[in-house]
Amino acid sequence: MADGANATVLGGGRREPTTASGTARPGRADRLFAAVAGVFVLAQLLLVRPGMGLGWDETVYVSQVTSHTPAAFFSAPRSRGVSLLVAPVASWSSSTELLRVYLALLSGLGLFLALRAWRGLFPARVLATGGVFFATLWVTLFYGPQAMPNYWVAIGALICVGCLVRVREAAAASGRAALWGVVAGAALMAWMRPTDAVWVAVPLLVLVLVRRHWRLLLALVGGLAAGGAEWVIEAYTGYGGLGQRLHEASRIQGDLGWHFAVDDQLRSLGGRALCRPCTGSMPHPVITLWWFVLPLLAVLALVVAVRARRTARTLIPLACATTAALPYLFMIGYAAPRFLQPAYALLAIPVADALWHLVGAPGGRWRPVAATLVALGLAGHLAVQLVVLVYTVDRNTDTRRDWARTADELHRLGVRPPCLLTGHEAIPIGYYTGCSSGATSGNNENTTVAEIVRTARRIPVAAITGPGGAPPAYARSWDLHRIGDLSVRVAPPA
């Protein structure tokens, strides 16, 4: 192939002439990947809009590094990677627009580097098509500019797996740059979500142990350890040990075990950011059709790879995609479409390879009928993704505007920093208000009733009750106010 397995991941590798395989020159391939990444960034800025406020989970991550609002409760499953990712902007600016632009640009750079990690293993057109497929999923566009970890686990997985395959096929000296790519990709995954990183890495660990690739084993384990070290240290300093933190994380996620969540994931494809509990009707079949086509194309890609005697390049990412998806399809009792982003990213390149096989015949000729059907299918798929994206953005924008309006009303009622909110959606509303948030029960339990009552003697405290909810006993005598469909009880001034 033109690039060969010895091309570097981040720097410019040795250039070789284009071969009959159809692989583009390295410089041309990089320009193609840069174009895909650039369009991805532009699409985020135009379709998701930088002005969309921060979501619930985003407020938790961002609040850890801001100076304008107290840090929200940080539960056991979370990792500090996202907080550190946004720190260069969030640590000194409260501008959501600036943060969105920063994350959009960063996500485009991540996609470019992820595609470059595979350069030479597949033709550039296949890699670019895979990048376009992944980048145009509504879940990728929606979460690309958000302070959330799953997209970055997906990017880390692509880099790690691509570089590992490259090292397997490279000479001892020429694979050194890709070896560092394995370290970087594994570290990025573990930095963002250590448990997800382990699931992605399971097939890789088995492969390097069976084949006795000790350098690869050291790079993979070293990267995972480097990225997950902070999470493990925090487990011992704040949760009573690693086992206790894993147990607490499992409890918060509904006790991990056998849960058939395939139908939950299908329901979430209609634009539900979090499906917990996951009830209601299924989205229209047009919305979920691509989800059933995806595994069929993955199988076709494997067949094509076996016939072409390049099985490992396709089988390894498919195996990692399978293990990445496994816990979210069969071990958790709820769903969110972002959970499967690493699996989608790893499937994207083999699926693109299968699509190019369908439209091309031996000798470089086109199959007109197949090419037309594939083009129509992809156009329909893109249209569906854009419709779901617009719906999702609008709905989430409205929710976040409601939180901002509630914060304005709380300010009018005298609930201003320093202050404390408790009750319904206290974490995101607290972020918008500039208040701390407290919960006496549930997954975000971090205080007691006695502590809330004592705090009310010092600073403004408000208890928020959602529609149909009952106020806590300690707040029933507090002044009652209505903000939209919320009941807000404000403690009397000390």
Q: What is the pLDDT of residue 146?
A: 98
Res. 277: pLDDT tops 90: no
Matching residue, tokens 């532009």:
42
Under the banding of pLDDT at 50, 70 and 90, the label for residue 170 is confident
CA 361 to chain centre: 37
Q: Mean pLDDT across the stretch 63-89?
A: 96
> Of 18-32, 165-179, 217-231, 253-267, which has the strongest mean pLDDT?
217-231
Q: Mean pLDDT across the stretch 40-50?
A: 96
Question: Looking at 50-64, 159-173, 209-223, 448-462, which range is the least confident one?
Answer: 159-173
Angle of CA points 37, 135, 181, to nearest 5°: 65
Give the model confidence (pLDDT) of 303-320 as tens digits.
Answer: 999 999 999 999 999 999
Res. 8: pLDDT tops 80: no
Q: Mean pLDDT across the stretch 189-194?
A: 98
Q: Mean pLDDT across the stretch 338-344?
A: 98
Q: What is the pLDDT of residue 177?
A: 87
Res. 17: pLDDT tops 50: no
Cα 301 to Cα 354: distance, rounded to the nearest angstrom:
5
Res. 436: pLDDT tops 80: yes
Under the banding of pLDDT at 50, 70 and 90, the label for residue 365 is confident
Crossing angle of helices 150-168 and 96-116, rounded to 10° = 20
Res. 463: pLDDT tops 80: yes
Under the banding of pLDDT at 50, 70 and 90, the label for residue 24 is low
Under the banding of pLDDT at 50, 70 and 90, the label for residue 22 is very low
Crossing angle of helices 194-211 and 150-168, rounded to 10° = 10
Q: Mean pLDDT across the stretch 376-383?
A: 95
> Is 346:161 a contact under the CB 8 Å cutoff?
yes
> Of 165-174, 317-326, 368-377, which has the strongest mean pLDDT?
317-326
Res. 21: pLDDT tops 50: no
Under the banding of pLDDT at 50, 70 and 90, the label for residue 23 is low
Question: 0.85 cut: is pTM over it?
Answer: yes
Res. 110: pLDDT tops 80: yes
Under the banding of pLDDT at 50, 70 and 90, the label for residue 264 is very high
What's the chain's average pLDDT? 92
What are the start-end ranges of the H helices in 332-367? 341-359
For the chain, what percent of residues have pLDDT higher than 70? 94
318-343 burial, b for 16+ CB within 10 Å, e for fewer?
A: bbbbbbbbebbbebbbbbbbbbbbbb
Q: If DSSP codes are grouped into helix, strand and coil, which group holds residue 480?
A: strand
> Is 437:422 a contact under the CB 8 Å cutoff?
yes
Q: Which residue has the higher pLDDT, 367 or 41?
A: 41
Cα distance from N-terminal residue to C-terminal residue, the chain: 75
Cα separation values, 202 from 78, 153, 183, 319, Å? 21, 15, 15, 9
Q: What is the pLDDT of residue 20?
A: 33
Crossing angle of helices 311-330 and 150-168, rounded to 10° = 150
Question: Looking at 108-112, 186-190, 466-470, which range is the least confident one?
Answer: 466-470
Q: What is the DSSP letter of 491?
A: P
Q: Which residue has the higher pLDDT, 2 or 227?
A: 227
Res. 173: pLDDT tops 50: no
Q: Which two structure tokens, joined as six digits, stand for 8?
A: 């570097």
Matching residue, tokens 């309006």:
405
Question: Looking at 142-156, 166-180, 393-407, 433-447, which range is the least confident one?
Answer: 166-180
Q: Which residue has the higher pLDDT, 361 or 143?
A: 143
Res. 6: pLDDT tops 60: no
Q: Which two structure tokens, joined as six digits, stand for 491?
A: 């403690």
